[in-house]
Structure 1
Amino acid sequence: MAVEATGEGVRLRVWVKPRASRTRITGVRQGALEVAIGAPPVDGEANGELVRFLAKLLGVPRSSIALASGAASRQKTIAIAGIDDATLRRALVK
């Protein structure tokens, strides 16, 4: 899984599958964390749901999570402030 440490936190590559029955991590795809999102990819709804899901999973405020790239794509890079690589990996294993 592609995780890159930055000065402020980490960047995580994510592959999003919108319009799923529920929001959950489904595995790893092409080196990116694969996340099924219950929201449709309309007007940023899926992106908002992804941010809410990751914030809850990682125990960080939503304001700490930003889309670094891929706002209109299934392949996204997520910037997460205030967390390190080891903490991210521990949270994803739970």
Structure 2
Amino acid sequence: MSMEEKIRSILEKHVYDGPGYVDIIVYVKPEQRESKLVLEGDDLVFHTVEPDVAGRPNADLVRYLAQLLNIPTSRVEVVYGTRDTTKRVRIYEVDRDTVIEALVKVLASSEESS
């Protein structure tokens, strides 16, 4: 199994389709050296430089995903876990395959550089 196939199979457990949206389950770690998405075991983890204060990690996650998918931040929101480390992020007007492909691309490049 290639690295991309392995990443895709892990993402299948974290990315869900809904009517007009896609949800992603992601674990957030604040106060890291850089903002990036990584896989830690079978978990999708967002490392953010932001401290765990006043929703700043959530805002950084929303900006990151919007930029990754080249969509406005208004189409990305944290719908569950705003005060927890595990988040459900909803992305509107995008299909599941597009989200998974974008995540595979960024995660494969971060795996290669580590």
Point out the structure with the larger strand share: 1
Question: Is the Cα–Cα contact under 8 Å of residues 14 and 76 in structure 1 kept in the other structure?
Answer: yes
Give me the CA root mean square deviation: 1.2
Deviation at 1:32, TM superposition (A): 4.1
Query: 5+ residue gaps in structure 1?
Result: none
TM-score (normalizing by structure 2): 0.77
Which among 36, 44, 53 is matched to residue 33 of structure 1?
44
Q: Which residue of 2 aligns with 1:17?
A: 29
Q: Provide the rounded CA distance (Å) in 2 between the counterparts of 1:85 and 1:69.
A: 19
Give the structure with higher Rg (CA). 2
1:82 equivalent in alignment to 2:93: yes
Q: Which structure 2 segments of 5+ residues have no match? A: 1-10, 106-114
Report if the CA contact (8 A) 1:41-1:47 is conserved. no
Deviation above 2 Å: which 4+ runs of structure 1? none
- Which TM-score applies when normalising by structure 1? 0.92
Report whether the alignment pairs 1:73 with 2:84: yes
